[in-house]
Amino acid sequence: MTQTINLQSLKVGFIGGGNMARAIGLALIKRNILNPKNVWISARTRETLQNWNQLTSENPVNTTLNNADIIINSDIIFLAIKPQSLVLAIEDAKKTSEGRNLMLNNKLFVSVLAGVTLDTLEKEIQLHLGQQLPLKIIRTMPNTPLSIGEGITVYSRNAQVSESDALPVVKMLSQIGIIEEIPENLINSAGGLAGSGPAYAYLMVEGLADGAVKTGLPRALATKFAAQVLVGAGKMVLQTEKHPGQLKDEVCSPGGTTITGMHALETGAVRASLMNAVDAAVRRSKELGA
């Protein structure tokens, strides 16, 4: 029997109110997937919270400077901070709990911290909150296009998280993009592509548009066409399920304009540069985790 989940009743909190929290949280609120009355946001500065208050002025969320409020008032807790800020954030939750029982046994932590393993997450949370009970943790690597419903999230869960436990998170995030469970040892590799990939795509859009502007096309049209080229090409790969190389060959007529352009790209080592970019991002993710 299919498990019924009422996402509107979920109590969801974000420790950290920055770019990734906004990409996920605002998308879920704007699409009426979560009830803003049940959403909590913490941040280090009042300016960040004021930004949230402005963005959700019609349907306000709960904002706080105390991380303990997030743990106390949420069933699902997104750790949406930088990897190097994990210990400070958890220590702050302990300090600002003011004797209140944080009751972690029924909480589900969802990490978006690049490079930080499930084992490390559990040990650090247990250590700095002074509680040794097993924790339910999901490690994710999302990307910012979640904000427009076109994102990617890959995730792994620790032994304490059953499929049933993970289902609310999977159902939530599947509303704003695609989501795939993968072995944890592949998370960094997926992050180097899915997590960092939008930045590489923006660079390609800018470069293609610059090329068109150089030959006389107005900037606005050039940018619009370059962005649509990436959208259309991506959908062709997904919907036809053809190999990208085959689709490329179908555009390259013998002696034509496209194969001439392809030669220019290969001369500039674009393919190798993209491979190097993903590889560098994966290596950096591992460094952050260490």
Size of the chain in residues: 290
More confident residue, 205 or 59: 205
Helices assigned H by DSSP within 9-77: 19-30, 46-55, 67-73
Is 67 flagged in the annotation as binding?
A: yes
Q: What is the DSSP letter of 194?
A: I
Is 234 flagged in the annotation as binding?
A: no
Please compute the mean of the pLDDT values over residues 76-82 and round it to a whole number: 95
Q: Could you tell me if 179 and 190 are in contact, meaning their C-beta atoms sit under 8 angstroms apart?
A: no
Give the integer Cα–Cα distance in Å for 138 and 121.
10
Is 236 flagged in the annotation as binding?
A: no
Residue 287 pLDDT level (bands cut at 50, 70, 90): confident
Is 15 flagged in the annotation as binding?
A: yes
Residue 3 pLDDT level (bands cut at 50, 70, 90): low
Residue 68's pLDDT is what? 92
Give the integer Cα–Cα distance in Å for 233 and 172.
27
Q: Could you tell me if 29 and 93 are in contact, meaning their C-beta atoms sit under 8 angstroms apart?
A: no
Q: Could you tell me if 199 and 191 are in contact, meaning their C-beta atoms sit under 8 angstroms apart?
A: no
Is 19 flagged in the annotation as binding?
A: yes
Residue-wise pLDDT tens digits, 216-232: 999 999 999 999 999 99
Is 16 flagged in the annotation as binding?
A: yes
Residue 2 pLDDT level (bands cut at 50, 70, 90): low
Residue 193's pLDDT is what? 92
Please compute the mean of the pLDDT values over residues 282-286 and round it to a whole number: 89
Residue-wise pLDDT tens digits, 27-55: 999 999 999 999 999 999 999 999 999 99
Residue 102 has pLDDT above 80, yes or no: no
Six token digits for residue 204:
């390609």
Residue 99 has pLDDT above 80, yes or no: no
Residue 62's pLDDT is what? 96
* pTM, two decimal places: 0.87
Is 18 flagged in the annotation as binding?
A: yes
Which residue from 150, 7, 129 is spatially nearest to 79, judged by alpha carbons?
A: 129
Residue-wise pLDDT tens digits, 164-183: 999 999 999 999 999 999 99
Residue 1's pLDDT is what? 42
Six token digits for residue 182:
């993968």
Q: In what order do the strands lie in the sheet with 108-111?
A: 62-64, 39-42, 12-15, 76-79, 108-111, 136-142, 151-157, 177-181
* Least-confidence region, from 121-130, 149-158, 239-248: 121-130
In 10 A of CB 289, how many CB atoms?
A: 15
Which residue from 73, 66, 76, 64 is spatially nearest to 24, judged by alpha carbons?
A: 76
Q: For all residues of the chain together, what is the average pLDDT?
A: 92
Residue 286's pLDDT is what? 86
More confident residue, 6 or 236: 236
Q: How far is CA 35 from CA 29, 174, 290, in A?
A: 7, 17, 37
- What whole-number percentage of the chain has pLDDT above 70? 98
Residue 198's pLDDT is what? 94
Residue 96's pLDDT is what? 80
Residues in CB range of 263: below 8 A, 6 or more apart: none
Residues in CB range of 175: below 8 A, 6 or more apart: 28, 31, 33, 149
